[in-house]
Structure 1
Amino acid sequence: MSKQRVIFCDFDGTITVNDNIVAIMKHFQPPGWDELVNQVISKQISVQEGVGRMFALLPTSRKQEIVDYAIGNVTIRAGFQQLLDYCREEHIQFLVTSGGIDFFVYPVLSAFPIPKEHIYCNGSDFSGSQIEILWPHACDEHCTNHCGMCKTAIIRSYSADQYERILIGDSITDFAGAKLVDTVFARSHLIQLCEELKLNYYPFEDFHDVIKQLEEMKVK
C-alpha cells in the first residue's frame, strides 16, 4: 500500500518572497535587533530566544502600525495557489509550519483555502507595554533546539511508516526538519545544508518548480 503524502511548508521566505520578521525589524529599527539576528544565524542563541527578544524591543502602542506593515509588506511566491490546487487534486495533505507570528501569518493565509488547524505558527500578546511572543507549539521531549515553533515535533506526529513526508523551506528554522523527511524542496541557506548532509533535495525558485517535481516523483 502506498504511503499518503504530507507536505510541511515554511512561511517566511518560502510561501512569502521575503522574511517577514526581518522585514519588520528593518522597518521599525528597534535598537539591538540586528545583533540578535546575527546571534540567531550564527547559533549563539536559539530561534526562540532571538525572536522573543526581538519583538520585546517593540512597544505595543505601535501595534496597528506593525500589523499593517507586516501584512502589507508580503509578496506571495509564484505558484502557491496552484500548489494548493495540485495538493487537493492529488490528495496530498498540506500543512503550513511557520516560525512566523499569528498577527501576520493568519491574515495573509486567509486569502487561501487552508484550514486554520493546518497552520502552525507562534502566537503574540499585545496586553503589556512590549510585544510578547507566545509558543503554543514549543519543542517536545525529542527536541532540544528551542525552536519556538517546533517543526520536528509536528513532522514526528506523522509516522514515517504511514506517510511520505516532504518539507519545503529555505532557512535555519527548517534545518532540523529537513533531516527527518523523505524529500526536501530547498531554497537559500537550506540548499547548503542539504548539500553538506547529502539529503534528498530539489532546489526551487517558485511553486511551479515544486509541482513539476512532485509530478515526476509520482511517476517513479
Structure 2
Amino acid sequence: MTAKKRIIFCDFDGTITVNDNIVAIMKHFRPEGWDKLVEQVVSKQISIRDGVGRMFALLPTSRKQEIVDYAIGNVQIRSGFAELLAYCEREQIHFLVTSGGIDFFVYPVLSAFPIPKEHIYCNGSDFSGPQIRIEWPHACDEHCDNDCGMCKTAIIRRYPADQYERILIGDSVTDFAGAKLVDTVFARAHLIDLCEELSLNYRPFETFHDVINHLEEMKAR
C-alpha cells in the first residue's frame, strides 16, 4: 500500500505572523464601527466574509499607501517559520498557505520566503473606488455554506483523504471549519478551545520549532 503524501495547510494571520494583521490594521486606523464587526465575526453573528468586507469598506482608498505600508511594516514572523519551510522541502511535505488575509500584505510579506505564489491562497483587494473593496477569488464551494470568504475547506477537499495525510496549522475562527476535516491540527489560541471541545487530534504550539518537533514525532510512529 502506497504511503499517503503529507500536506500542510497553514494559516497566515496570527499563525505565520505573531499578530492578527487585519485586527492590527483596524486598531491602528480605527474606522468607526470596526470593533463591533470584529466581535460579531468572533461570536459568529456574521460570517467572516461579511465582517472582513464591511471592515475594509470603512477605510478610504485615499489612504492606500499608508495602510499598505503599515500592514507590511507591522508584521512579525513567528519564530521557526523559515526552518519549517526547509524541513518541508527536505521531507517532501507539500506546504500551502491558506489565509483569510488580504493580498496587499500577504504576498509582499511572504515574498521573502521560497513559497511559490500558486501555493498561497488569500483574499484580493480593489482600491479603484472611494473605499477599499475586498475580493473573494477562493469563495466557498457547494460543500460549504459558512460564507468563509477564503474557504479553507474548499482547498482542503482538493486533496483527498485517501491520498493525503492532511495537516492544518492555525489559531482562530477562520480555521475552525478546516480543523474538522484534517488528520492533525497544530493549534494555538482560540483554535485550541475548538479542538478540545470537539476532541480533535491536535497538538498545541507556540513557535514553528514546536511544529517541526511534532512532525518528527509523527514520522517516527
Q: TM-score, normalised by structure 1?
A: 1.00
SS in 2 for 1:5: strand
1:115 deviation in Å? 0.2
1:115 corresponds in structure 2 to: 116
Displacement of 1:195 after TM fit?
0.3
Q: Deviations over 1:49-89 (max 9, x none)?
A: 00000000000000000000000000000000000000000
How many corresponding residue pairs?
A: 220
Pairwise mapping of residues 49-128 of structure 1 onto structure 2 (< 5 A)?
49-128=50-129
Which residues of 2 match residues 136-175 of structure 1 at below 5 A? 136-175=137-176
Q: Does residue 183 in structure 1 map to residue 173 in structure 2?
A: no
- Counterpart amino acid of 1:85? A
Q: CA RMSD in A?
A: 0.2
Aligned letter for 1:37? Answer: V
Where 2:77 maps in the other structure, the secondary structure is: coil
Distance 1:74 1:171 in 2: 17
Task: Give runs of ≥4 in structure 1 deviating > 6 Å.
Answer: none
- State the shift of 1:104 in Å: 0.1
Question: What is the CA–CA distance in structure 1 between the aligned matches of 2:205 and 2:45, rounded to whole Å?
Answer: 29
1:27 matched residue in structure 2: 28
Specify the SS of the correspondent of 1:120. strand
Structure 1: distance between partners of 2:33 and 2:217: 46
Percentage of pairs with the same residue: 83
Q: Report the Cα distance in structure 1 between the residues aligned to 2:193 and 2:3, rounded to whole angstroms.
A: 31
Letter of the 1:30 partner, please give it. P
Q: Distance in 2 between matches of 1:177 and 1:150?
A: 9
Code of the residue aligned with 2:216 in structure 1: it is: E
Residue 47 (structure 2) aligns with: 46
Aligned residue type for 1:163: Y
Inter-partner Cα distance in structure 1 for 2:42 and 2:8: 25
Measure how far apart 1:112 and its partner are: 0.1
3-state SS of 2:206 partner: coil
Per the TM alignment, residue 39 of structure 1 is displaced from its structure 2 partner at its CA by 0.5
Structure 1 residue 149: Cα displacement: 0.1
Unaligned runs of 5+ in 1: none
